[in-house]
Amino acid sequence: MKIIDLSGWQLGLAASLVIMLSICTHLARLGVGKALLIAAVRTAIQLSLIGLVLEALFATAAIKWVALMAIAMVLIAGREVMARQKRRLTGGWTFAIGTLSMFVSTFVVTILTLTVIIGPSPWYTPQYAIPLLGMMLGNAMTGVALGLDRLTETVWRQRAVIENRLMLGQPWHEAVGDIRREAMRSGMMPTINSMAAAGVVSLPGMMTGQILAGSSPTLAVKYQILVMFIITTGTGFGTLLAVAAGSRRLFDARERLRIDRLSAPY
């Protein structure tokens, strides 16, 4: 089966549906008409640009460009993690911890998957490497952001409890232990839930795309299972790393709770 090409007028038809929706919301005075149109235009522009970038990347397939793209992706994900925090660690630590933990976990799992499991040649073939990394980063970003946000927010609310536990002679990791476990769990729950619901409640987007592109459902399912597993692993380890590093940063060398290292809420 050959995939059917889409031309400009066909996309235009789909766009006119969005315009119709925005007219309806305008008439109903929902006040989202403008935001809807802007978002639609952004989708079109951003995706077209990334399409051009990927075309160029796939054409050269040089490792330095693949690496550059991967670094750019992880930095953008780190910025997004920071933007989703109510209270950040001061001095850029939220960005540093978020980016570094996602870098370590997603890069290790992606490279392992490429070299040991899928095995394209060369291993960094961008058609495999970039989408895999992208899906992992997208999920790891959510996990890390949720985990760090839960950590800092709970520490802020329970600072008196943590200090009282320190007064009783508990080491810092024991005094913050319950909160740290809770934060790690909340960062990992979304991916665990999505694994549990896969195929029953939702048809995962990647699998759908692969089927549309002409793959047999059996092959698409195999890829989807692989992707689910590596997403969960990447997100899980990323969250564990980020919450562990973030909670360490909240205490100093004398195991004092340094609530001054948390910014005011954004």
Partner 1 sequence: MIDNDSNTLRLQQVCVGELKDVSITVTAGEIVCLSGASGSGKSRLMRAIADLEPHQGQISLGDQEQSEVAAHRWRGWVMLVPAESQWWAETVGEHFPTSPGAASLAALRLDDDILSWQIIRLSSGEKQRLALLRAIGHTPRALLLDEPTANLDGETTRLTESWVRELARQHRLPVLWVAHDPAQIGRIADLHYRIDGSRLEAVT
Contact positions toward partner 1, by CB under 8 A? Answer: 158, 160-161, 163-172, 178, 254-257
Nearer to partner 1, 84 or 159 (CB): 159
Q: Look up residue 8 and give its two tokens.
A: 């400009």
Provide CB contacts within 8 A for 111, sequence distance 6+.
123
CB 15, min distance to partner 1, A: 55
Considering the complex, what minimum distance in angstroms separates the CB of residue 258 from partner 1?
9
Q: Where are the alpha helices (DSSP H) in 158-252?
A: 159-167, 172-175, 177-197, 205-212, 217-249
Residue 156 beta carbon to partner 1: minimum distance, rounded to whole angstroms = 15
Question: Residue 27 CA to chain centroid, in angstroms?
Answer: 36
For residue 104, how far is the Cα from the chain centroid? 14
Beta-bridged to residue 262, according to DSSP, are: 89
Question: What's the min distance (Å) between Cβ of 193 and partner 1?
Answer: 27
Backbone angles phi, psi at 89, to 5 degrees: -75, 135
